[in-house]
Amino acid sequence: MVAVPYAEEGRDAGRFEAWVRAGRAGTMNYLKRTGQNPGRDSDTEPGGEKGPLVRARMGIPFPWARSAIVCFAGYDSAQPRSVDLAEEGAGWIARYAWSGRRDAGGVRRPSDYHKVLLKRIKALEARLHTEFGEFEARGYVDTGPLVERALATAAGLGWTGKNTCLIHPKLGSFGFLAVLVTSLDVEAAQQPLRVPDRCGSCTRCLDACPTDALIAPYQMDATQCIAYLTIEHKGTIDAELMEGMGRQVLGCDICQDVCPWNRKSPLSGDAELEAREELVNPALEWLAGLDEAEFARQFNGSPVRRTGFQGLKRNVAIAMGNSGLRRFVPRLEQWAEAADEGLRTAAGWALERLSLKQ
């Protein structure tokens, strides 16, 4: 739990505003929302006539806030890393999106950490109301107008690593953050101890990033990040970035997979967020063969759903081009005639790349 505003809020607000102003948020317009109209997307410059960025300071969206409870839920599992050897023609879906749970009949269904953890945050809020009575509160899991990583650092859960992820000294960085903003006051004596930066001279994450999205230690340009390109960005992807995307079809774990702090991170035993084996190193043929109905059946209620049906096919086309496997040519030729520009462009690039492998 951390009192808000916290000591470094001004510094963090300045960094966030500079990051957005530099265009590094790409098409994520929800990060550009301003104080005057926080419910709508805006391309207004930070500090412009529409007011400061909503996410820059907690007092903008939550003027009543006096504290924030930040929770970390690990999601590491025994499955291989993205940087390990995989079967020929395998794609990669980010570890966090593998989640599933078994229903009452024992059938594994997709699950989404947003919903799973928000339910737990709401349960925590109910317990606090029982103990402290009425107070204002809002719970979020990657869905609210706040910067969770900055709050987590202020709450003593870890430090921000050179790959811009929160790193817990014992749990590593494979973790979800859930936040409960409250109007409860926190005594100064109860403030958490800060965890010092322990990245040292290590640059493995920067060295491993295939699209050079980590432009400097502790600095990331989202417009070059594979996670952004495969999930948040819609439409066409710049040709110069496609080769670096490798076999990633949703998200990217590379900078975390090479991080020494994740070598011994504990494995999650969360029954609601278990890994779905079919999503670990999934065959590109399988993903390419999904129609919209099957895509919905496989991924409704899953984080994978966010990329959309066309977005997933676009990403698969790029992974096929990077595979060097000529057996994907017939599918890519079909997609090269697609109505969707993003898929059509990706398929054309992939065909050209495979032709060079002959």
Supply the residues annotated as catalytic: 142
Residues in the chain, how many? 358
Contact present, 111 and 99 (Cβ < 8 Å):
yes
User: By C-alpha distance, which of 74, 98, 99 is closest to 170?
Assistant: 74
User: By C-alpha distance, which of 231, 261, 278 is closest to 108?
Assistant: 278
Contact present, 324 and 90 (Cβ < 8 Å):
no
Q: Distance between CA 191 and CA 200 in Å, rounded?
A: 26
What the block records as the tokens of 76 is 């590491």
Q: Is 198 helix (H, G, I), strand (E, B) or coil?
A: coil
DSSP states of 272-332: TSEE-GGGSS-BHHHHHT--HHHHHHHHTTSGGGGG-HHHHHHHHHHHHHHHT-GGGHHHH
Is omega for the bond preceding 61 within 30 degrees of 0, making it cis? no
